[in-house]
A = this chain, B = another copy of it.
Amino acid sequence: MQARTRMSSSPTTETAAPARRKRADALQNLDALLEAAKAVFAEAGVDAPVRTIAERAGVGVGTVYRHFPLRSDLISAVFRREMDACVDAADELEAAYPPGEALDRWVLRYTEFVAAKQGLAAALHSGDAAYEPLAEYFSTRLAPTLARLLAAARAAGAVEQEVDPTEFLGAVANLCHGTGPSTRGREHAERMVRLLLAGLRAS
């Protein structure tokens, strides 16, 4: 019943094949869904009612279930995008800064990401088998990145302590827990993360 945006591009200017149109709509919906989910997760956590997300995206609940049969599918999809961005940031930081500083900056960058995703850590630790894929993504994408940065920093003498990358990432995620989207919360998390980083340096 919701009025879909009928962009109504004039027929003459339309160049894409008709078959594409359908896909375009679907993709648009999917995007709206991911955006909505991201927003709702940030506000109400990953346990927010499916209906809320559907409404926010302007679609029916059925559509959500069509694209993401499991809640975890949606969660994964939402977070994966940003995790990728986070992973990519490592390259730039490594190129621009010495190992120790690159490590710090990347961890802080990661902190920022996690802090903005209320409920991420909770989902990760929920024990719910549904979030396995998400956890796996952590291990296969983020952890290796941190491992690389750690190794470089240690080689440069900027880090003394041994630490398991996945464990460390989990700890940082946990430190962001409950720190709303407020600046105060952010700062709080950041301070604690810096303490953790300082700990790495200690002999």
Contact = CB atoms under 8 A, between A and B. Distances in A.
Interface in A140-168: 161, 163, 167-168
A83 interface: no
Give the number of times this chain occurs in the complex, counting copies. 4
A178 B174 contact: yes
Interface string A161-203: 1010001101100111111100000001001101111111110
A21 interface: no
A121 interface: yes
Given A174-B178, A199-B202, 17 more contacts: A121-B177, A122-B122, A125-B178, A127-B180, A161-B195, A167-B188, A167-B192, A170-B178, A171-B175, A174-B175, A174-B176, A174-B177, A192-B196, A195-B196, A197-B199, A199-B199, A201-B202
Interface of A: 121-122, 124-127, 161, 163, 167-168, 170-171, 174-180, 188, 191-192, 194-202
